[in-house]
Amino acid sequence: MMGGIGDFLIAPFLEFVFMQRALLGALMLSFSAAPVGVFLMLRRMSLTGDAMAHAILPGAAAGFLLFGLELVPMTLGGLVAGVVVALGAGAVSRLTVQKEDASMAAFYLISLAVGVVMVSMRGSSIDLMHVLFGTVLALNHDALTLIALVTGTTLITLAIFRRALIAECLDPLFLRSVSKLGSPVHFVFLGLVVINLVAGFQALGTLLSVGLMILPAAAARFWTQRVETMCVLAIGFGVVSSVSGLLLSYHAALPSGPAIILSAGLLYAVSVIAGTRGVLLTRLPRTSHRTA
């Protein structure tokens, strides 16, 4: 019995190199993107992360038009596009009456449309699906190296600016009043969001890369209030989602990227219901108390 379970859980990763690479890439993204997602969520910027994920599409599409499905041009293009959209949305919100969330939504919709049109100009529907939804099972050495660099950069940066990031999440005005780190930390954090989305784009595509950033973080919030514990839990949920999603993809012949995000979505649903700060332990006791 145990042998059968072991074969079901372990054999795909032992037998196939592409499964090993996919697992390594997804695990590194979990360690990198999930903690960034925690701070994104605590700043009430989750939808900003989604908008930024779509904003990288025109740059990646430009790299694809010029060089095909090559890692470096598409990565650099996505990075430039993400920075331009972030700065553009920020400039519109500061120079006009429009709020940043509205300007970000406008830039996101325009970016998504432009990117899809650019990919369609040269590529096939398969190329478009690759750009939008990624190919985690096709990660090569260069893509894994990029993800590893982003993961290392993210973890080191979070360790250095941890206190400032937590302070800005809790009370940004207080941080700006007592320290000059307020604005620099904000831009450092946006930089982390962009590079993690670009790294995630290699594995999960523009439409799903933000999923591994937000869903584990959102699930972790139903279990704890401490930021550090939330980050650790988010990483754990990301790891579980990656492993289970790849196994689901392998055994059920499903697309790997969506399978990983669906697994993260299932963990989120369980956390909403059964977490220590979820529905069962917060809402239901109050209801029964009132009826009593």
- With CA atoms as reference, report the closest residue to 148 among 192, 199, 203, 188: 199
- Give the tens place of pLDDT for each residue, 174-225: 666 666 666 677 778 888 888 898 888 878 877 678 889 999 999 999 999 8
Contacts 24+ apart (CB under 8 A), 136-140: 136/22, 136/25, 136/26, 136/203, 136/204, 136/246, 136/256, 136/257, 136/260, 137/18, 137/19, 137/22, 137/249, 137/256, 138/18, 139/18, 139/21, 139/22, 139/24, 139/25, 139/202, 139/203, 140/21, 140/71
Domains of the chain: 2-205 (1.10.3470.10)
Question: pLDDT grade, residue 237 (50/70/90)?
Answer: very high
The tokens 């074969």 sit on which residue? 7
Tell me the per-residue pLDDT of 239-252, one tens digit each, with 9 for 90 and over: 999 999 999 999 99
63-88 average pLDDT score: 81
User: What percent of the chain has a predicted confidence (pLDDT) above 90?
Assistant: 28
Predicted pLDDT at 292? 43
Residue 291 — pLDDT band, cuts 50, 70, 90?
very low
Give 84-104 pLDDT, tens digit per residue.
Answer: 877 777 777 777 777 766 777
More confident residue, 259 or 101: 259
Name the DSSP class of 96. Answer: S
276: DSSP letter: T
* Residue 193: partners with Cβ closer than 8 Å, 6 or more residues away: 36, 40, 48, 49, 52, 213
Cβ neighbours, 10 Å, residue 50: 21
What value does the mean pLDDT take over residues 66-92?
80
Number of neighbours of residue 239 by Cβ within 10 angstroms: 18
Most confident of 7-11, 106-110, 234-238: 234-238
Flag whether pLDDT at 113 surpasses 90. no
